[in-house]
């Protein structure tokens, strides 16, 4: 009798899962709208081509690459929520079969960076932060928010409207981060061959908007990328036939400073408080609510709530530099 029950349950499981298995086999893994959205699958762009993987594995890989593993748990949880929000924003804009392209670390890369034992420990920390915030995203007026982040500010974050020229993210604005100026990485210097360059525009927070290089004008972010600078807050100084470039902070300065988030966590503030500090006026919601709401809107009015990205918001090497 017991064997018959086991056999029946096995057949029942196969019958229940068969439609999903067939769908994945035919179309590849994709995000499935369900109460447990963090258990869904996504398409990820890799060097060897697009590949399907679990949303959890992908996002933990982003966390591993973008934020120090020794940061406080509430800071890691705040970062997990920002990553989830960003990923769903890209899915919202590009559809379920969009290939996600943010850089992430695989398990092998984690082991290469930290060693096998440390990699296992760090992975467990990131997974715990991911699980404890399951399904949570940052929203503004019922829509997914723009959740940019970076490693370290020059003492304050930047105004989104001033930098991006958009009216739809009033919650990305100047926020004081006084503890950032005490960080070891705060001031860095690079010396390059002398060039005819002049900073022609900066924003309110002191980050460079435009640089004249010879007869051309480039953005501060483009100049930063070209010369591999830590931050887009920088100054020039002629020195012994060279050009000395001094940077302040690490990253683009928009959104959440990971360093200040960690300091806030040390003081006992939780992930929700941290995110409210950096994105005032936003609130945390379950992403399943957003999915259900959008599905209803599409049926009723064909609504499309995509988000447009006008600047690279990675916090990795260019980072938005989280490493």
Q: What average pLDDT score do residues 39-58 get?
A: 87
CA distance 54 to 44: 9
Is the pTM higher than 0.85?
A: no
Task: Name the pLDDT band for 291 (thresholds 50, 70, 90).
Answer: low
Which pLDDT score, from 0 to 100, does residue 40 have? 83
Q: What share of the chain is helix, strand, coil (3-state, %, to 5)?
A: 40, 20, 35
Asked if residue 297 has pLDDT above 80, the reply is no
Helix 55-66, helix 107-114: angle, nearest 10: 30
Please give the C-alpha separations between residue 76 and each of 41, 132, 238, 271, in angstroms, as whole numbers.
22, 10, 41, 8
Q: What average pLDDT score do residues 217-240 get?
A: 95
Q: Determine which of 10-24, 46-60, 270-284 has the lowest per-residue pLDDT on average.
A: 10-24
Using alpha carbons, select from 165, 176, 169, 162 the residue that is nearest to residue 147: 169
Which pLDDT score, from 0 to 100, does residue 149 have? 97
pLDDT digits (tens, 9 = 90+) for 239-270: 889 999 999 999 999 999 999 999 999 999 99
């Amino acid at each position: 009798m017991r064997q018959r029950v086991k056999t029946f349950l096995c057949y029942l499981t196969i019958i229940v899962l068969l439609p999903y298995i067939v769908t994945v086999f035919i179309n590849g893994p994709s995000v499935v709208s369900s109460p447990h959205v963090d258990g869904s699958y996504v398409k990820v762009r890799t060097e060897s081509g697009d590949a399907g993987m679990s949303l959890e594995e992908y996002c933990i890989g982003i966390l591993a690459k973008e934020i120090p593993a020794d940061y406080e748990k509430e800071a890691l949880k705040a970062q997990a929520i920002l990553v989830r929000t960003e990923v769903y924003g890209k899915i919202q804009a590009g559809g379920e079969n969009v290939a996600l392209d943010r850089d992430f670390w695989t398990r092998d890369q984690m082991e290469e960076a930290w060693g096998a034992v440390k990699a296992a420990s760090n992975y467990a920390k990131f997974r715990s932060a991911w699980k404890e915030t399951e399904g949570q995203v940052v929203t503004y007026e019922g829509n997914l928010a723009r959740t940019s982040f970076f490693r370290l500010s020059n003492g304050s974050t930047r105004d989104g409207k001033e930098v991006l020229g958009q009216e739809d993210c009033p919650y990305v604005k100047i926020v004081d981060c006084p503890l950032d100026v005490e960080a070891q990485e705060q001031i860095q210097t690079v010396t390059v061959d002398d060039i005819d360059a002049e900073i022609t525009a900066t924003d309110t927070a002191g980050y460079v908007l435009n640089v004249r290089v010879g007869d051309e004008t480039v953005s501060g972010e483009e100049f930063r990328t070209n010369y591999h600078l830590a931050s887009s807050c920088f100054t020039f100084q002629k020195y012994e036939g060279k050009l000395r470039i001094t940077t302040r902070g690490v990253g683009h300065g928009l959104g959440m400073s990971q360093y200040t988030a960690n300091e806030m966590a040390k003081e006992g503030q939780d992930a929700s408080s941290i995110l409210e500090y950096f994105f005032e006026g936003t609130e945390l919601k379950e992403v399943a609510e957003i999915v259900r709401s959008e599905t209803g809107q599409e049926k009723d009015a064909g609504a499309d709530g995509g988000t447009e990205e006008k600047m690279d918001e990675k916090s990795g090497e260019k980072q938005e530099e989280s490493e």
